[in-house]
Amino acid sequence: MAETDPRPRRSDRSAWNWLLVLPIVVPLLTFAYNGDKPRLGGIPFFYWAQFLFVALGVICTTIVYRMTRIRSGATAPSED
């Protein structure tokens, strides 16, 4: 006898997931931030750019989470 799961099925097939590629690819573009100037509080650009990449990752992850989560009372998309 098959058990029925009251929770809706989760589908991870969303275009929003492509936004998660951004925080992976941007730090790989070293030519864009491999420099000493400008300085912010005496810290070279290379170092504070790394902190911006962390913020970029958090922002992208938050957006994807909020746009792809299944809200209570919503039905999951049907699989064809």
Separation CA 56–CA 7 (nearest Å): 32
Structure tokens at 53: 């990449």
Query: Is 2 within a domain?
Result: no
- Phi, psi dihedrals of residue 43, rounded to the nearest 5°: -95, 130
Query: Is residue 80's pLDDT more than 90?
Result: no
Name the residue range of residue 57's domain: 15-68
Contacts of 14 (CB under 8 A, 6+ apart): 67, 68
* 0.75 surpassed by pTM: no
Query: Is 30 within a domain?
Result: yes
Domain count of the chain? Answer: 1
Contacts of 75 (CB under 8 A, 6+ apart): 8
Query: Is 46 within a domain?
Result: yes
Q: Residue 77 has what pLDDT?
A: 59
Q: What is the pLDDT of residues 29-69, one digit of tens each?
A: 988 888 888 888 888 888 889 999 999 999 999 999 999 88
Task: Look at the chain and count its residues.
Answer: 80
Q: Residue 55 has what pLDDT?
A: 96
